[in-house]
Structure 1
Amino acid sequence: MSATGEQKPRVLVTGGAGYIGSHAVHALLDRGYPVSVVDNLVTGFRWAVPDRARFHEVDVADQARMEAILREDEIGGIMHFAGSVVVPESVENPLKYYRNNTAASRNLLEAAVAADIPHFIFSSTAATYGLAEVVPVTEDAPQRPINPYGASKLMTETMLRDAAAAQPFNFCALRYFNVAGADPEGRTGQSTAGATHLIKVACEAALGKRSHVAVFGTDYDTPDGTGVRDYIHVSDLVEAHVLALEWLRAHASQSLFMNAGYKRGFSVLEVLDSVERVSGRPIERRLESRRAGDPGELVSDNARIVRTLGWSPRYADLDMIVRHALSWEEALEARRS
């Protein structure tokens, strides 16, 4: 129940036992939304889901079961995070990404339409832009993904656009830049073993859990030759999801495509410098060749999300992002020991 006495709709979070999804569950509960979570626990963790959320161990590709959950839980909106997210793996195993990201999303979307779900928020990606011609990248830039991960997400954006034109629901596709950090209260964080996110990898190296950090590509057309990315704190990102849901509820016939980033990029070497600075520990850097599917620079133009949602990031500081990630990594090590 909100302060105005309004009953907030129950939100279904797919992938709610995973990294970004678990943060979204906390953010929604903090704002008074009842939450249901669907996760097959292939990469997620049951302990990451708060007790206050209703949990279903189900694969989102199971259309019949998803439609039943949407009806039984009386869902009023979906935040869809479930999927596969490792760019190099998508190059090596593209069909996995078209199954887990595109085909599964299509099944979920049909279940949502059948159950008359009015609002759908999709976790898309800046990888849909491919090799951006102009940086920072606006939402109107050409979308020419250079890896199956980006292509699988772009296909889902297309399905959402087409379905919303034919059915009475609206959606927001948030194109994430590089998500990092952890919940400032220490409730959840990036917990997947063998993760490829640079800041997590660097924090593991700072704590002695990795011998080194590989720097993939030193000959990009960037100030220090290494790849430049726009790192966004996960808590700021999920706040954007909550604001997007509220916007969709107030604008029933309109949908959105929006970048989620800070309009500021940092190179791989700058990130490693930050982790060394925050942790007080040196990190061995091993220079390697570029990975397939990696653009040299990807930085957001975030004017649309700031203007449309009134989004005001609270954690737009690289050292703060690293500090929260490092604290979570230390807590995770204590949990595993």
Structure 2
Amino acid sequence: MINPNVLVTGGAGYIGSHAVLALRDAGYRVAVIDNLVTGFRFAVPDDVAFYEGDIADAGLIARIVAEQGIGAVMHFAGSVVVPESVANPLKYYDNNTVRSRALIAALVDAGVPHMIFSSTAATYGMPGTDTVTEQTPTVPINPYGWSKLMTERMLADTAFAHPLNYCALRYFNVAGADPRARTGQSTAGATHLIKVAVEAALGKRDHVAVFGTDYDTLDGTGVRDYIHVSDLAAAHVLALEALVAQPDRSLTMNCGYGRGFSVLEVLDAVDRVTNRTIVRRMEPRRAGDPGKLVSDPGLIRQTLPWQPQYADLDTIVGHALAWERKLGEIRGGG
């Protein structure tokens, strides 16, 4: 099986930059398109072809496909902050849905046969079950979840009508950083809990806000399934191999470990790893946040030869902490 050349959209962002590394480590030739609104040029290796631009620019996509001989796309470009999606829904329907539609159309026109889509567990909304399978009803409770679910629907319909197969990977809470500290979560003002917590541990924030202490969980705080970003990136490479091996098959799969940790348990882990005590400030619930969201990873384990390497909360925190320290060096201590 010959590896296709891969275009990574949003490849200068958090998850996209890890996918670029995973693809390169697996022997793929990679190109990146990113508008650098939330991504960082330093996150893309110097020997990877980089295009600064918009995924909705059909002419640019056509040029990249031709210049780089692209045979597959991993699509990470988009907006990801749930509360922001509630406050500014049209931004999310534009960035995540309208622009994805333009990208898919450009790929169909160019004859690109494979696409991996960065989807989300937010498509399930508030499932009301301890663990979530792919058969759990998709009833999003915020525009972020809806914007991603709409793109899944577009992909399904497009795959029926055109020679394109796809894999939609529904992420649970992505955390950590490359174990070799080659890239990590770099966004200023990021809302990811572990990112926020390690910033607090290093003195970049004076506290961590805990949003909601009255959920129906063991300690009253929200419970999430945290997956290491490098394990997630590895799943993308394996998913691409599965698409290439069976071009008449498309897939939709959860990406998580199947174990949940509460906000307070995560903060305890950061305290443990850093040997410091983070100041915790209790706040009201945020709009659009379910109390518990934990994956059933059975399907991805059955479908792909995926063996997570970093399924340990303290390991995830340790890698996030190492990247946060390196990021301070990259930015001159800022």
Q: 1:267 aligns with which of 262, 277, 289?
A: 262
Among 20, 44, 50, the residue aligned to 2:45: 50
Tell me what 1:29 maps to.
Answer: 24
Which of 250, 262, 273 is equivalent to 2:245?
A: 250
Query: Which of residues 313, 318, 326 is equivalent to 1:323?
Result: 318
Match of 1:104 among 99, 102, 116: 99
SS of the residue corresponding to residue 47 of structure 1 reads: helix
Query: What residue number does 1:235 align with?
Result: 230
Instruction: For residue 145 of structure 2, give the secondary structure of its aligned residue in structure 1.
Output: helix
What is the distance in 1 between the residues matched to 2:11 and 2:310?
22
SS of corresponding position for 1:134 = coil
Q: Which of 157, 161, 171 is residue 156 of structure 2 equivalent to?
A: 161
1:212 equivalenced with 2:210 (yes/no): no
Residue type of the partner of 2:183?
T
| Shift, 1:7, TM fit | 4.4
Once the two structures are TM-superposed, the CA of residue 270 in structure 1 deviates from its matched residue by 0.2
Matched, 1:312 2:298: no
What amino acid is aligned across from residue 168 of structure 1 in structure 2?
P
Aligned to 2:4: 9
d(CA) in 1 for partners of 2:99, 2:177: 27
5+ unaligned residues in a row in structure 1: which ranges?
1-5
Alignment-mate amino acid for residue 53 of structure 1: V
Determine the C-alpha separation between the residues in 1 that align with 2:190 and 2:315. Answer: 20
Q: Counterparts of 1:281 and 1:134 in 2: how far apart (Å)?
A: 35
Q: CA deviation at 1:335?
A: 1.6
Task: Identify the residue that residue 60 of structure 2 maps to in structure 1.
Answer: 65
Q: More deviation in 6-15 or 324-333?
A: 6-15
Unmatched 5+ stretches in structure 2: none
- Residue 39 of structure 1 corresponds to 34
For the pair 1:137 / 2:132, whether they are aligned, the reply is yes
Map residues 125-204 of structure 1 onto 2, 5 A cutoff. 125-204=120-199
Cα distance in 2 between the residues matched to 1:15 and 1:232? 19
SS in 2 for 1:168: coil
Aligned residues: 332
CA deviation after TM superposition for structure 1 residue 67, in Å: 2.1
The residue number in structure 2 matching 1:122 is 117
In 2: Cα distance, 1:58 partner to 1:75 partner = 17
Return the offset for 1:72.
2.4
Correspondence for 1:85: 80
Aligned mates of 1:134, 1:287 — CA distance in 2: 26
**Aligned Cα root-mean-square deviation (Å):** 0.7
1:300: which partner in 2?
A: 295
Q: Deviations over 1:134-179 (max 9, x none)?
A: 2210001000000000000000000000000000110000000000
Measured in 1, the distance between the counterparts of 2:151 and 2:308 equals 27
Greater CA drift, 51-60 or 75-84: 51-60
* Aligned match of 1:221: 216
SS at match of 1:254: coil
Kindly state the Cα deviation for residue 322 of structure 1 after the two structures are TM-superposed. Answer: 0.1
Query: 1:307 is paired with a residue of what secondary structure?
Result: helix
Q: Tell me the distance in 2 between the aligned counterparts of 1:8 and 1:246.
A: 8
Alpha-carbon separation, structure 2, partners of 1:257 and 1:135:
20
Cα separation, 1, equivalents of 2:311 and 2:155: 30
Distance 2:2 2:94 in 1: 36
In the superposition, the TM-score normalised over structure 2's length comes to 0.98
* Identical positions, percent: 70
Q: Secondary structure at the match of 1:312?
A: coil
**Runs of at least 4 residues off by over 6 Å:** none
d(CA) in 2 for partners of 1:138, 1:266: 18
**Which residue number corresponds to residue 3 of structure 1?**
none
Q: Equivalent residue of 2:191, what SS?
A: coil
TM-score between the two structures when normalised by the length of structure 1: 0.97
